Amino acid sequence: MQLTDFTTLTFDVYGTLIDWESGMVAGLQPLLERTGRNLSRDQILEAHARHESTQQRYTPHLQYRLLLAVVYKRLAEEWGVAVSHDECLAYGDFVKQWPAFADTAESLAYLKQHYQLVVLSNVDNESFAYSQRKLGVEFDAVYTAEDIGSYKPAQRNFDYMLEKLGERGIDKSKILHTAESMFHDHQPANRNGLANCWIYRRHDKQGFGATMNPGDMPTVDFRFNSMAELAEAHRQSM
């Protein structure tokens, strides 16, 4: 299997292209300063992953920025801090400020010359519009949790993406699903028979950070530690 075998890259965004972990920790600072606890970065992210994943299962219809507001409330309760509704909403809105990884825009600009680029993201459309400005390219299609009514790793999200790409004449065999999260993306990619590329942003860290532990590790067809490594591997393959 070669990178040049594919015509379409389908991307997770948050954790892969956007540095959501740094964004989360920055957005949680007002809450963390009031906890009186010495929480490590990974303890913060793992608690966030637990509440976010639960909320996505129970309220799959909820727009992501509003879902994050509930996560903030649940974290505040867990850490024994009283917060206002406005504070919760402000945290949900902070997703618009999450930064892109330094290598993202340049890598996407290169890959855009060789592939169709498609987004499959657990986000609402308004928040993604702000993130897209940081990514520097126009995607050929954008499929969000708000569009679909559920959150990855739900099968519904992958069914929707594959149906819509199929309508455009893109065969599943020509799709390379490109993502960081084992839980949200690579397990369902395996389940759906999609070739997959792991952008292992956490290669120098322990655990799974802001994503849930997937249990049995999925298989991957390609692994790179950054988007820059993926772009360079494609250059070499040419």
Could you list the active site residues?
A: 12
Query: Which string of DSSP letters, residue by residue, matches the chain?
Result: --GGG-SEEEE--BTTTB-HHHHHHHHTHHHHTTT-----HHHHHHHHHHHHHHHHHH-TTS-HHHHHHHHHHHHHHHTT----HHHHHHHHHGGGGPPBPTTHHHHHHHHTTTSEEEEEESS-HHHHHHHHHHH-S--SEEEEHHHHTS-TTSHHHHHHHHHHHHHTT--GGGEEEEES-IIIIIHHHHHTT-EEEEE-TTTTSSS-TTS---SSPPP-SEEESSHHHHHHHHHHH-
